[in-house]
Structures are given as C-alpha cells and as structure tokens.
Structure 1
Amino acid sequence: MTTLDTHPVQAPEAAGPAPYRWRWPALFVILAGSVMELLDATVTNIAGPTMRADLGGGTSMIQWLGAAYTLAMTAGLLTGGRLGDIVGRRRMFLIGATGFVVGSLLCAVSFSPETVIAARVVQGLFGAAMVPQGLGMMREMFPPTELRAALGMFGPVMGLSAIGGPILAGWLADADLLGTGWRMIFLINLPVGLATLAAALRFLPASRPARSLTLDLPGAALASLGALLVVFPLVQGREYGWPAWAFAMMAASAAVFALFGRYESRRAGRGRDPLVAPSLFRKRSFVGGLFTGTIYFAAFTGFGLVFNLYTQLGLGYSPLKAGLAGIPLSAGMIVGMGLVQALRGHGRRLLHAGALIMTAGVVALLLLLGAEAGPWQFAPALLVTGVGSGLIMGPYFEIALAGVEPHEMGSASGTLTALQQVGAALGVALLGTVFFGATGGDPTAAARQTFWVVAGMVALTFLAGFLLPRRTGEDTGPGH
C-alpha cells in the first residue's frame, strides 16, 4: 500500500504553505462517499414494495426501511462530526465507509423485515460517521481561492445522483442480475465502497486530532431518544389501532427534548462542550430555520415516498418505470437551485416563492391522479414541484445560518443537517401513515388525500418562512 504524503512541499514563507498536493483526487473520494450515502437514503422508496413482497411484513415495513436509516443517520450525525475532530477526520471517514459497506452487505443478505431494518440502522450509523468529515477535510485541503469551486461541485453531483438514484434502483430491482433481485441495490455498494476505501487510503489527508474536545454522549442519547419517541408511534400506531401508548410516547418526546435542552445548557455552563450550543436558540434565524426546515424536509421526503408507492401500488408501474417517472421532480429541483444562484440577493423571498410554486405543483399533480394518467401527464406538475422545492432548499441553509457566530458554526451546521434527517424520518412516518391508513382498496384516493396534506405542509413552510431574516446579512439577534 502506498503511504499517503501528508507533508506537502512548502512554498516560500511569504506565500504560506502550499495547498495539499492531492486535494482534487481527495475531493472526488469525498464526493463518492456522499453519493453512495445519498443513493442508499432513497433506494428503498423505489424498491420498498418489491422488498416487502419478498420478505413479508406489514405496510409499516416500507416506512421503516427509510425511517430506520434516517433516524440512525440523525443519531450518528450528532456525534460523527465531533468524533472526526477528536480522532481525526480521515480515520473516521475510513471507519464510516467500511461500516457502510458492511451494512450494505447485511442488507443484501437479510431474510426478514427485522433483519433488513436492523441492517439499515447499521448503514445509517456508519454513513453518519463518514459524511460529516468531508467539509472539514475540504477546508483543510483547499486554499480560499479554490474552496468555493470545490464546494460548488456538490450541487451538480448531488443533483445528478438524485436523478440517477431512483433509476438505478428501479433498473437493478427489475433486472434481477444473477438472480439477486432487489438485493443488488445493496450489493452494488461493495465494489463501489471498496474502491472508495482504496482511494481514501491513498488520497485523503491525515488530520491532527483535537484531543481537548470531549464527546457529549448523554446529549446525543437524549436527542436520539426524543426523535425515536415521535417517529415510532407514527409508523406503528396505525397498525396497532392507535393505542394509548402511541400518544403517550409522542407526549414523552416533548419532555425528553426539554430535558435535552436543560442538560445542554448546564453542560455549557460548566465549561464543557455541548452537543448543541445553547446560544443558538437565542437567534431568530436559527430557531426559524428549525421550524421551517422540519416542515419542508418532512413534506418533500414524504411526498417522494408516496408518489413512488402510488405509481407502483396504484398504477402497477415496475420499479424502473416508477424511477423514470420521478425524473422531472429531480430535474426541476436542479433548475430551482440554479435559479437561486442567479437570484441570491432576494433572500427570504426566494424561499416564499418556492413554497408557493411547490404548493401549486402538488395541487396540480393530485388533480391528475387516476388510472388514465401516465408519466408524461405527471411530468409538468412534478417539474413545477421540483422547481419550487429547489427554490426553498437553495437559500435555506444560508439564511438559517445568518447571524451564527464563527465559534457556533460547527454546532449550528451539524444541528441543521441532523434536523434534515429528522424531518425526513417524520415525513416518511407521517405521510406514509396517511397513505396506508386511507388506502381502503383505492390507492388513487389515498394518494389524493395524502397530497392534500403535503400541500398543507408546504403552505405551513411558507408561513414559517416569516421567522427567517429577509436577507443573510440581516441582524437576527433576540431584539430583532
């Protein structure tokens, strides 16, 4: 194995140290890891019905295939970034990528709903160890003049992954390569993951661990427990007839989150490193971002799941045809995010415009639902929905992080990223429950009812957007 050169030749003292020699190959390693994680976050939206037909289980199994992954990802993200600071980002990337490959293999050899859901948890936890290391390594590797260009590569790559992922998952599930059926959507991670690991060993830079930092394990446990107490009853409550314990668990989640907030404040007061900086909750932009992001990510992720379920269970599409039918949604999102780059100065108004456009697209789609509708009839409404979603997503993180101090940035960005996963899990749980609870033998009626709920959630995103500052440079302290 070739040893990685972590001591690049120094430039003259006046110019500072030379940039890391292998920074561009290292960037592609980071992108490969992110793409692998992103694809596996969504493949079960396409393959879920086929997996359930093979493994058995109730309708909640399809919801848990996504929710288990995103909940595990959330729990891991809250600590994965900090572990990279403590033990080294390269080391954590390698650990995460290795575990992700193992989790993929466990998914592929699963023989029951319980084993595949447990394997999805393994995937999510190790994905959370791998993905957060990328940004920190990029800031170490690239000089300021190149960093913006490097960060700019994420958008197109992630956009192409969003389009290609469902198509690849549908094709692999349909092709039945070597008699593997749906299992190939996970087996394909083995060669990709091993190649990524080999490239990571060669090209990623070693970083010096910051051993003065400490890990807030009790805080991570409380936050994860609070999220689980919300998602579990939403997914399972319908199948058990909404017993009292389901509502008790959701009520308990509020108490757990309150305890989490108090614990974090006391930890910070004692001079220890909190999982989430309490000062963030005194900033209007950040608090507004929490509300806005939770609603939006729940609506968008749940919408994608229900559309795929409707096309397969209601219209009889194959997984590949269902994946192809969703292309306009992903393409529209890329267009919307591209518009954000040209119109960035409009700040919050972009997000509001996106919410209105996305609502119009969802309403147009639900009016088209029916046995006679096909992919070409859905395409315009999906494209409009995607454009609106891109206009929301494009400025969201920048606006929500406005007013965050430099020393709070790591905690703030990690919290918002974890919140994206929580919102996704809630969307899968809530909207999946609405869809399956309303089916009654008519998937079209169920989809129509669910999409009305989605339209209402996007309208709430519009209202929550007023909590955000008008522009990223605006003061967002408590007095404003």
Structure 2
Amino acid sequence: MTTTPTPAPTTPAPYPWRRPALVALLLAEAMNLLDATIVQVAAPTVHAGLGGSVSDVQWFSTAYTLPFAVLLITGGRLGDIAGRRRLFVLGVAFFTAASVACALAPTAGVLIAFRAVQGAAAAVIIPQTVGLIKAMFEGDELSRALGGIGPVMGLAAVGGPVLGGVLTHADLFGSSWRAAFLVNVPVALVVLALSPKLLENRAPRRPALDWPGTALAATGTGLLVYPLIGTNLTELPAYDWALLGLGVLALAAFARHQRRTATPLLEPGLFTHRGFPPALATSTTFFAVTNGLLTVVVLQLQLEAGQGVLAAGLSLTPWSTGLAVSSWLSGRRGARRRMMPYGLALVLTGVAAAAAVYATTTGTATTADPSRYPWPLLPALALVGLGAGLFTPAFFTLALRPLRPQEVGSAAGALNAVQQLGATLGVAVLGSAYLDGSAVTACAVAMALTALCWATSRRM
C-alpha cells in the first residue's frame, strides 16, 4: 500500500502592500504627535487673536489630550470589534475634518470644542497602528517596522514646537496660527490615499465593549482635571475640592468595576505584576513634568520675556535635540534599568537650572530685565531633554518586559492613556502654578513631581 506524502508546510507570502501601508501608519503617528505639541507654541498667539479667558491657553492643549487619554483603550477595543483598518480610516477622516474646523474657529470656545473632537479621533487612530503592523509583518521585518515608530515620534517631537513657531510667525496668506492646524490636511490626505493598501484585521473573537468602564474612566479623569484649569491651586474653593473628590471616587469605582466585569477594558492579569501599577504612576508623573514644563517655558518666553512665537519655538530646539540624541544612545545600549535614575537626575538638574534662570531674569528685583532673552535657559532645557531621552526607552522596555503576550496590547494602551493623562494634568497644574504664581513656582512643582517619579520608578 502506498501513501501520498504530506506536503511540507509553506510560509505564507508576505503581504504585498506592507511598505506603503507602513508609510501611512507612521505618518498618522507623526500627525497626531505633531498636533499635540504644535499648538503649545502657538497658544498665546491664538489667545491674542480669539480673546477669552487666560485659562483658555491651557485648554487649547488640554481639550486635545484629555479625550485622547480617556478613549485610547476604548479605541483599541473598537478596532478589535469593527476592524482596525476601518477604524483607522474613520479616525483619520474625522481628525482631518476637525483640523479644518479648528483652523476656521471664530471663537476660543469653538476651537476648544473641535480640539476635543481631534483628541477623540486620535484615540481611535493610534491604537490601530501596532495591531495593523503586527498583521502585515512578521519575523525580522516586524521588529524593524515596530522600531520605525520610535524615530518617527522623536522627529515629530523635535519638529512640532519649532514648526508651530515657524508657521505662526510666517503668517502664510494671513493665516497666522491657523496654519498650525491646516498643516494636518496634506499629511492626512496622503494617509487616506495610502489607506487602501492596509490589510483589514480584527480580533479572532469579537469582544464586548465595556461602556460602563469607559464612562467611569471619562468621568473620573474629567472631574480631576477640570477644577485645576485656570485656578489658583492654593485657593481652590470647596466646590472644586468636591469635584476632585468625586473624580477620585469615580476612578476607584472604575478599578472595582474592572475587577468584577466579564469584559474589562484592561486585562485583569496586568495588576498581578508587582511592577505594573508603579509603572502607571511613573508614566503619569514623568509626562506631567515634561509637558507641563514645556507649556511654562513657552508662556514665560512670550508673556514675560517679550519674545515672539518664532523665538519661543526655536528655544525648544536644545530640549528636542537632547531628547533625540540621548534616546538614540539609550536604545543602542539596550535601554537598561540604570538609565532611568540617570535620566531623572538630569531632568531634575535641568529643572533646577531653569528655576535659577527664572529667579535672576524675572520678578521685581531691580536687576531683572524681563524683556531680555534668557540665554542661560537653553542649556537647562538641553539637560531636561537629555534626561528625558535616557529615561523613556528604558522605562517602556522595563514596563512591558515581564508581561504575558496577551497582556502587552492592553498594557501598551494603558501606559499611553496615563501618559496622555499625565500630560493633561501637567499642563493644568504647572500652567496654573505659573499663571497664578511665577515660573519659579512652576519649576518647584516640577521638581517635586520629578522626585515622586523617581520614588515610584524604584518600585518597578
């Protein structure tokens, strides 16, 4: 009796359109990060043009990052359910329309509303990128494709503040700050043109969406952030303290709900890892320091030092360059644990140096000259950037290393969410410390938060 030999298994052919598809995904990543940073430099000019309360300057950024933070994990779940390519394209389309609406906004309130739409659309876009890359690439090509996200994000971080200053200063066709939003349109059109090359992909088993968990997370974070915007932190009224308390209760209810529901937004096994909760706290405080300090630097240069938007944007170049260089060096050396305390030490040194610069160049002292450009601030900002670049790769590597494969996606979403939440709180807290006190006060708060970040990172 003869038998037919079983054919050897063959490796499936690689997805033919993976390279143009990767370009679309990386451009979308860059577009969203640019939009988060480009407005920080232009914000004082936006306020001068549209009027409104001084606290609106903080809301121009916060209105974007808050819905982005709250809806990131839900955006990932929606991709599992409805298809990642479909959600990606839908998110880019809404993001583009909201960008045009922001550029045409007649009032500060309208601009803030459409910034929130942008943030929600970004929360739909970003969670799909990793899932789509993993669906289209495998083996060494997968590692290289995922590795492309870091340099693109670094380039966007370097270019965002500078581009915001250049576009606003250039006043193209009389557009002033509006060009900072219109720059999204050509990038988004390229992404949409390439999107048919994306492979449709969804979870093998359709998960249910945790609407109660989403509502509790949104309510809790909103109640925590809202009272801190445009408020003197040393004179919070009883009403605002009550809102903060309700926010803490809502987040506690969210944590309890996640442990009990059959369809949690977060994988319950994440919190069995001893280092993961401290990683969430570390991410929150670190990005509160960096994003909040960025806002303070831009506001001080324009509101006190008498510098234009172009000078404010270019002043952040040492920070961005230091971050790019040190993150590259940290990655080459394997992003080891010891890079984290070294990085935080550099951040703390840079913030302390910035406080010293502000103490001698602002205020009521007879030697102070607020209209003089604070040149010593530049090396201080370079130190902060160098420290942030050493810290970030090591932190994310350490936070994700002990997790099981089925937990990585949920963990990455949670870390990105608290990163955005930290950025939102940083703009609120440090921005208020500056507007109600001084740049030195804001730096003191940033130093305290850096010390807290060091304490939580030691428990990872």
The TM-score by the shorter chain falls in which range?
A: over 0.9
Give aligned-pair identity as a percent.
Answer: 41
C-alpha separation in 2, matches of 1:375 and 1:142: 48
Does residue 130 of structure 2 align to residue 138 of structure 1?
no
C-alpha separation in 2, matches of 1:452 and 1:31: 37
Does residue 219 of structure 2 align to residue 220 of structure 1?
no
Partner of 2:4: none
Partner of 1:351: 340
C-alpha separation in 2, matches of 1:213 and 1:44: 36
C-alpha separation in 1, matches of 2:153 and 2:375: 24
C-alpha separation in 2, matches of 1:296 and 1:239: 20
Tell me, which stretches of 5 or more residues in structure 1 are unaligned? 1-11, 439-445, 469-480
Letter matched to residue 257 of structure 1: L
Asked if structure 2 preserves the Cα contact closer than 8 Å seen for 1:299 and 1:454, the reply is yes
Q: CA 1:375–1:24 in 2, change beyond 3 Å: closer, same or farther? A: farther
Asked if structure 2 preserves the Cα contact closer than 8 Å seen for 1:356 and 1:459, the reply is no
How far off its partner does 1:15 sit? 3.9
Summarize deviations over 1:273-316 as a string: whole Å, max 9, x none: 21012332232110110111111110111011101111111111
Partner of 1:443: none
Partner of 1:453: 445
Following superposition of structure 1 onto structure 2, how do residues 62-461 of structure 1 map, counting pairs within 5 Å?
62-201=57-196, 203-208=197-202, 210=204, 212-238=206-232, 242-267=236-261, 272-344=262-334, 346-347=336-337, 349-369=338-358, 370=361, 371=370, 374=373, 376-438=375-437, 446-461=438-453
Partner of 1:475: none
Number of residue pairs matched by the alignment:
444
Asked if structure 2 preserves the Cα contact closer than 8 Å seen for 1:76 and 1:126, the reply is no
Asked if structure 2 preserves the Cα contact closer than 8 Å seen for 1:358 and 1:384, the reply is yes
Summarize deviations over 1:429-458 as a string: whole Å, max 9, x none: 1001100111xxxxxxx1122112112211
Letter matched to residue 436 of structure 1: L
C-alpha separation in 2, matches of 1:406 and 1:195: 33
1:22 to 17, 20, 25: 17
TM-score (norm 2): 0.93
Q: CA 1:374–1:226 in 2, change beyond 3 Å: closer, same or farther? A: same
Tell me, which stretches of 5 or more residues in structure 2 are unaligned? 1-6, 362-369
Summarize deviations over 1:187-233 as a string: whole Å, max 9, x none: 222222122111112x2112255452111111011011110011000
Summarize deviations over 1:297-354 as a string: whole Å, max 9, x none: 101110111011111111111111111110110111112212222333632x211111
How far off its partner does 1:391 sit? 1.4
Partner of 2:367: none
C-alpha RMSD of the superposition: 1.8
C-alpha separation in 2, matches of 1:372 and 1:89: 51
Asked if structure 2 preserves the Cα contact closer than 8 Å seen for 1:73 and 1:125, the reply is yes
Letter matched to residue 186 of structure 2: P
Asked if structure 1 preserves the Cα contact closer than 8 Å seen for 2:73 and 2:413, the reply is yes
How far off its partner does 1:380 sit? 1.8
Asked if structure 2 preserves the Cα contact closer than 8 Å seen for 1:285 and 1:402, the reply is no
Asked if structure 2 preserves the Cα contact closer than 8 Å seen for 1:285 and 1:401, the reply is no
C-alpha separation in 1, matches of 2:335 and 2:352: 29
Asked if structure 1 preserves the Cα contact closer than 8 Å seen for 2:289 and 2:449, the reply is yes
Asked if structure 2 preserves the Cα contact closer than 8 Å seen for 1:325 and 1:375, the reply is no
The secondary structure found in structure 2 opposite 1:213 is coil
Asked if structure 1 preserves the Cα contact closer than 8 Å seen for 2:335 and 2:393, the reply is no
Does residue 26 of structure 2 align to residue 36 of structure 1?
no
Letter matched to residue 74 of structure 1: A
Asked if structure 2 preserves the Cα contact closer than 8 Å seen for 1:401 and 1:412, the reply is yes
Q: CA 1:278–1:97 in 2, change beyond 3 Å: closer, same or farther? A: same
Letter matched to residue 333 of structure 1: L
Asked if structure 2 preserves the Cα contact closer than 8 Å seen for 1:295 and 1:423, the reply is yes
Letter matched to residue 393 of structure 1: T
C-alpha separation in 2, matches of 1:380 and 1:239: 30
